[in-house]
Amino acid sequence: MGTSILIKNLTKRFGNVVAVNQVSLTIQPGTFLTLLGPSGCGKTTLLRCIAGLEDPDAGEIYIGDKLVFSSAQGINLPAGQRNLGLVFQNYALWPHMTVFKNMTFALEIQKMPKPQMAQRVQESLAEVQMAGYDERYPREMSGGQQQRIALARMLAYRPKVFLMDEPLSNLDARLRIDMRAELKRLHHVSGATTVYVTHDQIEALTMSSDIAVMKEGVIQQMDTPDRIYRCPANLFVADFIGSPKVNLLEGRADGANSIDLGKFKLAANTRGATGHIVVAVRPEDIAVSPTAAPNAIEFKAYSVLPSGADSTIVAQREGLEVTVRVMGNSKIKMDDSIWLTFNADLLNLYDKASGNLIVSS
């Protein structure tokens, strides 16, 4: 039921700022694509270009097989003719209209008959579990309820593409987690192609079928959540994804299967790489032992931070700091000696100069 979106070399400038820089994307029908990146990286701008609310400087956008924007041909289809729905960060519910009026606005423009319209409203309200709220005004509802109504307003006219700009960012933490499940369900049921903007990586990792990580208007990597987490294409993505953060250790590879980190050497599958490299290892991929073990390296527990389900240990050795995550409540005390084992198969190696992945785990 969804439709594909194809973006070619899209560029949007604001004065000197290049908000979206030569972006090319193919979004398959029914995909849940998340645009993820730090503040100001151009996520919203890209989304608004797709929606037709922004006038890009160059490139092409197809929705389905319809060309909706082309700078070369001077085509720019108005937002209303692109058959897509948009949920704004602040919901943008019209404050002077009831929920019902908010939801029928688009249907009236499509000249839908009245009885069908009322039925559509009831259906959509039910889909977001807000049945019975049709006569409320937006200010008479809580933030979470308004959020659902914003979704329902979009669902009511059954667009082929859902666009959402940080729809959960104004909700409190609990509600945000509940809504993630709801949104994912909604996407599953409707099958609409969804482009979702967030700077919350957990949201991205949990909900998406694909993630596009952006930095300064450029897409760094577009992949499945698992690949984004496991095999970040460059140091930026590696560093941006994951909490606690990935360990980045600088060293030299000399062609043999080991990396010289200065104070000690690390066994790794370098596959012939040489020169300055950066080793990336996720905190949960390091094994910890309170006693000496073969091939383990001795560290000191600088700080131990239990958080219930798991514990984070900050370990130090001769000025080198490594973060480790272990399941459960760790028995390790601060200032204890600990032995860390780095699994050579779980290391990603990056070229120091370019920051690009050279050897993936």
Partner 1 sequence: MAFPTTYQPSFSLQLLAAWRRFMHWLTSAHVILALLMLALMVYLILVPLYRMIETTLTYQEKDIHYVPEAVTGEFTWFHWTRMLTDEIAQVMTYAPLQHSLVISIGATLLALLIGSALAWMAVRTDMAGRNVINTLATVPYIMPSWTIAMAWTVLFKNRTSGGSPGIYEFLIGASPPDWLAYGPVPIIISSALHYYTFFFLFVSAALMSIDSNLEEAGELMGASRWRILRKITFPLIVPALLSGFIMTFSKVMGTFGGPNVLGIPVGYYTISTMIRADMGLGNYADGFVLAIVLILFAMTTVYANQKVVGTRKSYETIGGRGFVAQRTRLRKWKTVLTAGVIVFQLIVAILPLAILAFSTFMLIDGEYTPSNFTLHYWIGESTPTISNGVPGVLRNPDVYKGAWNSIALSLWTAFFAALLGVLLGYAIAKGRGTRLSKLVEQLAFIPYVIPGIAFGAVYISMFAKSVGPIPALYGTFALLVVVSVAKHLPYSARTGVSAMLQVGRELEEAGQVAGANAWERFRRIIFPLTSPGFISGFLMTFITTMRELSLIILLVTPSTQVLASMTIRYLENDDTQMANAVIIILVTLVLIGNWLISLFRGGSLKKGLGM
Ligand X SMILES: Nc1ncnc2c1ncn2[C@@H]1O[C@H](COP(=O)(O)OP(=O)(O)OP(=O)(O)O)[C@@H](O)[C@H]1O
For residues 46 and 208, the answer to whether their CB atoms sit within 8 Å is no
Residue (90 or 110) nearer to ligand X, CB? 90
Q: Does residue number 90 form part of the binding site for ligand X (CB under 6 A)? A: no
* Residues in binding contact with ligand X, number by CB under 6 A: 12
DSSP string, 272-323: T-EEEEEEEE-GGGEEEESS--TT-EEEEEEEEEE-SSEEEEEEEETTEEEE
| Measured distance CA(47)–CA(55) in Å, rounded | 12
Q: C-beta of 43: minimal distance to ligand X in Å?
A: 4
- Choose among ligand X, Mg ion, partner 1, none what residue 289 binds, the Cβ cut-off being 5 to 8 Å by kind: none
Closest distance to ligand X from the beta carbon of 207 (Å): 17
* 194 is a site residue for Mg ion (CB under 5 A): no
> What CA–CA distances, in Å, run from 230 to 124, 239, 261?
38, 12, 22
Please report, as residue ranges, which positions from 132 to 161 form the binding site for partner 1 (by CB under 8 A). 153, 157
Stretch that binds ligand X, among 1-9, 32-40, 128-136, 326-334 (CB under 6 A): 32-40
One of 43, 160, 215, 317 touching ligand X (CB under 6 A): 43
**Interface with partner 1 (CB under 8 A), residue from 16, 39, 72, 174:** 72
DSSP output for 200-229: -HHHHHHH-SEEEEEETTEEEEEE-HHHHH
Is residue 39 close enough to count as binding ligand X by CB under 6 A? yes
Tell me the CB-side half-sphere exposure of residue 122, using CA atoms within 13 A: 6
- Cα separation, 311 vs 331, in Å, equals 10
Question: Which residues, 6 or more positions from 182, have their beta carbon under 8 angstroms from its beta carbon?
Answer: 128, 129
Q: Determine, following the binding rule CB under 8 A, whether residue 264 of this chain makes contact with partner 1.
A: no
C-alpha atoms less than 13 angstroms from C-alpha of 209 in its C-beta half-sphere: 16
CB 106 within 8 A of CB 156: yes
Choices 49-57, 194-202, 316-324, 329-337 (CB under 8 A): range interacting with partner 1: 49-57
- Check binding of 19 to ligand X (CB under 6 A): yes
Query: Interface residues with ligand X (CB under 6 A)?
Result: 14, 17, 19, 37, 39-45, 199
Query: Interface residues with partner 1 (CB under 8 A)?
Result: 51-53, 55, 70-76, 78-81, 84-86, 88, 90, 92-96, 105-106, 109-110, 153, 157
